[in-house]
Structure 1
Amino acid sequence: MPDTHALVNDFIAKLKKRKIEGSHATARQAADLLRSVISAQRVSNTNQAASLIEAAKAVGEQLIAANPMELAVGNIVRRVLHIIREEDLSLATTAMGGLGLSAESDDDDGEMDPEDRPALSAAAVAAAARSSLRAPSLHTLLEFVPESAAVPHTSSSGGDSEDKTKSADRNSRSRKLKHDVIEAINELIQDIDTCHEQIAEQAVEHIHQNEVILTLGRSRTVKEFLCAAKEKKRSFRVFVAEGAPRYQGHVLAKELVAKGIQTTVITDSAVFAMISRVNMVIVGVHAIMANAGVIAPVGLNMVALAAQRHAVPFVVVAGSHKLCPLYPHNPEVLLNELKSPSELLDFGEFSDCMDFGSGSGAPLHVVNPSFDYVPPKLVSLFITDTGGHNSSYMYRLIKDYYSADDLVLQKRR
């Protein structure tokens, strides 16, 4: 078993030094790390879910603090916490149902038909819990079991064996909870690994013959989406805005040409001039917020405004790990990150303008933001690994993936 503390510290160091880039890579490694933490965690018999939640939260707080701008890390931590609550609720429902049926069989003496007995519905319990986004713990549910459902205490001699049986049952449930949580995290990791393929499979439904598509910068999701349409014998053309100052659009253009896709590179400032020729804008984003607004590479808000002006659909392709349950106005959310001015200007050439200590005139300031915020009203469609959705439906996906108790992870200082 690997040392989880060493794994956590190593991942935190990589996040702080920005050695891991991209939401997909950070989400994949965060899920893998949390799986290791859950596997190594010793679970108490009295409150199994609480110990797993505390362990995941403790690690999650450190990961989020290491790089608050990488929202995918917080998303995965909250997804894992939701998984623990859901699996705990499922086991509690099963236990309650078993106790209820046992008590009824003792009281009725076989007079009532089993099909006529009012059974505790797991679906009803789960639906009630999801409606409030609060999953009760196993301890809480069992605490309110009616006395009629309790196993009668027959004799003192039988009490010891009964206690041993209960202890064995608790140990069994503890091991099953941990096993089920790890299995669910494995499914989450598989979803992250296959999200690009799941999104690309939908390309043929959205890209039609002889269309002109515009994108900005480079996104792996966009690249695979376009390449999948090409493999289905769709003939189309792509305008790629270069994405200054990092010019990732040049990289994407080379990749598309290598796949045989007609590609034209344009400057970012030419987007408004070219948008009237475009049938659809397809872009990748950094994060999708709870209000369906998106945090995207810098320059995409300009593209979205141009698309709205010319009534061109603005389509966002993103994996479900980029769904963030926070709103842009939440204090935990950092909407932007400033990169080095050296990406814009050569310090040697402009050193005389940037000398703050010379006192000769006002110095030159350089601002190099990484992201734009695109409001939901500018987004026509979201294509995720679960299908295509309108902006108004994104809240439902977020409700399915996250619990309200886990929205705020970092402790107030």
Structure 2
Amino acid sequence: MKSETDDLSDVIKLISDIKHKTLLSSHDIALSTEKLLVNLISHGNWSSALDLMELIRRRIKCLSQSLPMEATATNIMRHILKVIREEFEVASKKKGEAHSLHHIVTGALSNILDYSESLTSLKAALLDHLSEYKTELETSAENIAAQASEHIHSNETILTFGSSRTVKMFLKSASKKRTFNVIVVEAAPLYLGHSLAVSLAKSNIQTTVIADSAVFAMMSRVNKVIIGTHTVLANGGLRAISGTHTVGLAAKHYSVPVMVLSHMYKFTPIYLGSNDHDTLNILANPATVIPYSSGAVLNKADIATPMFDYVPPELVTLFITHQGGNSPSYVYRLLSEVYHPDDYEI
């Protein structure tokens, strides 16, 4: 059975779990996607690297059409496409195929590899790589948090926005060696900052909660802004929780550095066009702003509750991943290390 008759029930199940909030965080989505790929490689109907890559591309297309805002799963699949190419190249060399130094240097190697060839060692190599990759996914947040004391110093005031699991771990890690203050912007209307503030306070971190409208007034007292993000776009910009753009603008006005903590699976080769800001957004339930008990008022008012902001790269100072810190201008290089250029658009 070839890929044309491929059963997409696995990716449909993943889409359903994301839509119905069974998988809430990007971390959970990443681990579920890795598990899906393990099952696909182990039990999928493929006999060559070409077949397998086509199976994965079909799943990327299905995900992109159903969940255009969800980049984590498609990013991981794009990364595995690059891994397949690399492992196929290694397996081909072990089989005795010789490639000239000229082809390797000029990058022409991928053009002369026959991905339709069946290599028995490819499956085992891919499963070994995915096992290592799973460990990387599971330890990524800890590796980011381990860098906290390099970026947060004693008696500083840190401002953060909303609630991010990675930011929470980062701040708690820094508190083991440093004494500092944290200002948490509550991020209305969902007030995600409240739970973060409670968690930080329980760890004996001096915490202050402020309303979104107080960001500009408080920014002059801040030494650093540390935030998470939903997606890092190809130009170094962010698709982040609504309200982040305001924080970035206030920080730029006061020359406060903005540090973004992000896992590599949030880096996407997708560019956000000037006309895509609204079409690639999600409007939340208006009841979070005005309750349904308002009755007839809702029939005469448009209540917009966008979930995301686009934050341009010039408002970001530094990205911190498990590999270390990089400026927004270096994102293009990070993308080339994680994805193959042929897989940027699928």
TM-score norm. by structure 2 comes to 0.91
Could you tell me how far apart the structure 2 residues matched to 1:370 and 1:190 are?
A: 31
Report 1:235-274 matches (<5 A).
235-274=179-218
Shift of 1:94: 3.9
Whether contact under 8 Å (2:50, 2:115) holds in the other structure is: no
Structure 1 residues 238, 126: closer, same or farther in 2, change over 3 A?
Answer: farther
Report 1:56-205 matches (<5 A).
56-95=56-95, 98=96, 100=98, 120-121=100-101, 125-126=103-104, 128-129=106-107, 135-136=110-111, 138-139=113-114, 174-205=119-150
Q: Which amino acid aligns with 2:106?
A: A
Structure 1 residues 99, 247: closer, same or farther in 2, change over 3 A?
Answer: closer
Structure 1 residues 300, 64: closer, same or farther in 2, change over 3 A?
Answer: same
Matched-pair identity in %: 39
Q: Deviations over 1:244-300 (max 9, x none)?
A: 000010000000011110000000100100000000000000000110001111101
Could you tell me how far apart the structure 2 residues matched to 1:293 and 1:271 are?
A: 21
Determine the structure 1 residue equivalent to 2:41. 38
Shift of 1:61: 2.0
Whether contact under 8 Å (1:199, 1:384) holds in the other structure is: yes
Could you tell me how far apart the structure 1 residues matched to 2:65 and 2:144 are?
A: 31
Whether contact under 8 Å (1:85, 1:137) holds in the other structure is: no
Counterpart secondary structure, 1:324? coil
| 1:380 partnered with 2:324 | no
Q: Which amino acid aligns with 1:314?
A: V
Shift of 1:139: 1.9
Q: Deviations over 1:136-163 (max 9, x none)?
A: 463279xxxxxxxxxxxxxxxxxxxxxx
Could you tell me how far apart the structure 1 residues matched to 2:63 and 2:307 are?
A: 21
Gap runs ≥5 in structure 1: 101-118, 142-169, 356-362
Structure 1 residues 331, 368: closer, same or farther in 2, change over 3 A?
Answer: closer
Could you tell me how far apart the structure 1 residues matched to 2:138 and 2:100 are?
A: 37
Shift of 1:374: 0.5
Shift of 1:330: 9.3
Q: Which amino acid aligns with 1:404?
A: P
Whether contact under 8 Å (2:49, 2:115) holds in the other structure is: no
Determine the structure 2 residue equivalent to 1:281. 225
| RMSD (CA atoms) | 2.4
Whether contact under 8 Å (2:78, 2:339) holds in the other structure is: yes
Could you tell me how far apart the structure 1 residues matched to 2:7 and 2:160 are?
A: 41
1:24 pairs with one of 18, 24, 27: 27
Q: Deviations over 1:146-202 (max 9, x none)?
A: xxxxxxxxxxxxxxxxxxxxxxxx76xx22111112222222222111110010010
Counterpart secondary structure, 1:353? helix
Determine the structure 2 residue equivalent to 1:223. 168
Could you tell me how far apart the structure 2 residues matched to 1:316 and 1:20 are?
A: 23
Q: Which amino acid aligns with 1:366?
A: I
Could you tell me how far apart the structure 1 residues matched to 2:274 and 2:59 are?
A: 21
Determine the structure 1 residue equivalent to 2:331. 394
Structure 1 residues 50, 330: closer, same or farther in 2, change over 3 A?
Answer: farther
Structure 1 residues 28, 331: closer, same or farther in 2, change over 3 A?
Answer: farther
Structure 1 residues 25, 4: closer, same or farther in 2, change over 3 A?
Answer: farther
Structure 1 residues 79, 247: closer, same or farther in 2, change over 3 A?
Answer: same
Gap runs ≥5 in structure 2: 1-5
